[in-house]
């Protein structure tokens, strides 16, 4: 590809942008705060079962349900 090409990880860049947006809107939280007793909802545009398995493996709680949405509606 050459030295003049910069590869971009869109997932990483999206996460960085989302973190800034959530902070700007006052919707971010302390990443070290415990999750105990909190209810979370997860929405994905594809591969809901795969996300559920992955999220359960990296989050401090089991993800029991993920809702698949049609992104074209938003």
Spatial separation of the C-alpha atoms in residues 56 and 28, rounded to whole Å:
21
As given in the structure block, the two tokens for residue 15 are 């996460």
73: which DSSP letter?
G
| Residue 17: count of CB within 10 angstroms of its CB | 10
Q: What percent of the chain has pLDDT over 70?
A: 91
Predicted local distance difference test score (pLDDT) of residue 49: 83
53: left (phi over 0), alpha (psi -120 to 50) or beta: alpha
Specify if 1 maps to a domain: no
Average pLDDT of 1-30?
Answer: 89
Range of the domain at 63: 10-73
User: Does the pLDDT at position 24 exceed 90?
Assistant: yes
Res. 36 pLDDT band, cuts 50 70 90 = low
* Cβ atoms 35, 61 nearer than 8 A: yes
Average pLDDT of 7-28?
Answer: 90
Specify if 3 maps to a domain: no
Specify if 5 maps to a domain: no
Specify if 23 maps to a domain: yes
CA dihedral over 58, 61, 62, 68, signed as positive or negative: negative
């Amino acid at each position: 590809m050459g030295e003049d090409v910069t590869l971009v990880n869109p997932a990483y860049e999206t996460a960085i942008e989302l973190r800034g947006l959530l902070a700007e809107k006052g919707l971010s939280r302390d990443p070290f705060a415990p999750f105990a007793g909190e209810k979370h909802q997860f929405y994905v545009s594809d591969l809901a079962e795969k996300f559920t398995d992955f999220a359960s493996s990296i989050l401090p709680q089991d993800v029991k349900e993920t809702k698949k949405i049609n992104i074209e509606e938003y």
